[in-house]
Amino acid sequence: MERFDAHHALIGREPEIHRLTTAIGRLAGGAGEALLLTGEPGVGKTSLLEQAISLASGAGARVFRAAGSQFEADISYATLHQLLHPCLGELLRLSPLLAGALNVALGRGDGAPPEPLLVAGAVLALLRTTAEERPLLLVIDDLPWLDRASALVLGMVARRLNGLPVGMVAACRTGEPSSFDVGGLAVVYVGVPPEYGGNGPPEADLTESMLSGLGH
Ligand SMILES: Nc1ncnc2c1ncn2[C@@H]1O[C@H](COP(=O)(O)OP(=O)(O)OP(=O)(O)O)[C@@H](O)[C@H]1O
Ligand SMILES: [Mg+2]
């Protein structure tokens, strides 16, 4: 099967892409929000994240992305490090308290492990500084594989984006346990597109039904 990428229109995803377009339009206007894409394995969540990246880049936003990895799931703040490494130079612009806390969390400094609330405050300050010139979209895939410390802090950050030119789009298989608290986030259920026989709640083994629907 031909792989879909940002240059191909995704089949049957008009409602989801409309929702992403609306969120990115608001982000471009300075009002970030956090969206959670949830759906069954293989239904097309990562493909929609790629679409979000393409839309955000087209709207002039910067994009930082990270994905949970089973190999880094036991390393504290591994995903946070992956997400933020393009802007760590901006740490110099934060207060010593916030910069110090984030440096310790990310393994760039010595000291007692900082409280999650302090780390979340430091991340928000860093994101605000980074987004001064251009809006910023954070894209986080495979939430259940996030290390626990990153999941906790990024969940806190997701609920505090109001009024910032920083948005977040994250993806997770429906029902998979995660330390990322999705409470309070806007959820987009990614089901099987009607073009592939889907209607209503998503079904299992969707990649297979998509492939057979396309005649492959
Ligand atoms: N709308 C679509 N039409 C046709 N094929 C699609 C569509 N969306 C995704 N695909 C294809 O289906 C396959 C699975 O998509 P994708 O990786 O985005 O799913 P996923 O939900 O992220 O899967 P996982 O749960 O394993 O992370 C990919 O080959 C992708 O190119
Ligand atoms: Mg995926």
Q: Which residue has the higher pLDDT, 205 or 89?
A: 89
Q: Residue 90 pairs with which residues in a beta bridge?
A: none
CA-proximal residue: ligand 1, atom 23 (nearest)? 42
Q: In what order do the strands lie in the sheet with 34-39?
A: 62-67, 136-141, 166-173, 34-39, 186-189
Residue 64: HSE in the Cβ half-sphere, 13 Å Cα cutoff: 21
Full-model pTM: 0.90
Instruction: Kindly indicate the confidence band of residue 140, based on its pLDDT and cuts at 50, 70 and 90.
Output: very high
The three-class DSSP label of residue 41 is: coil
Q: Please write the tens of the pLDDT for every residue from 10-51.
A: 889 999 999 999 999 999 999 999 999 999 999 999 999 999
CA gap 144, 166 in Å, rounded: 22
pLDDT tens-place string over residues 62-75: 999 999 999 999 99
pLDDT cut 90: percent of the chain above it? 79
Pocket test for ligand 1, best of 1, 40, 46, 50 (most atoms within 8 A of CB): 46
φ and ψ of 150, to 5 deg: -65, -40
Contact 178, 151 (CB under 8 A): yes
Q: What CATH number was assigned to the domain covering residues 31-184?
A: 3.40.50
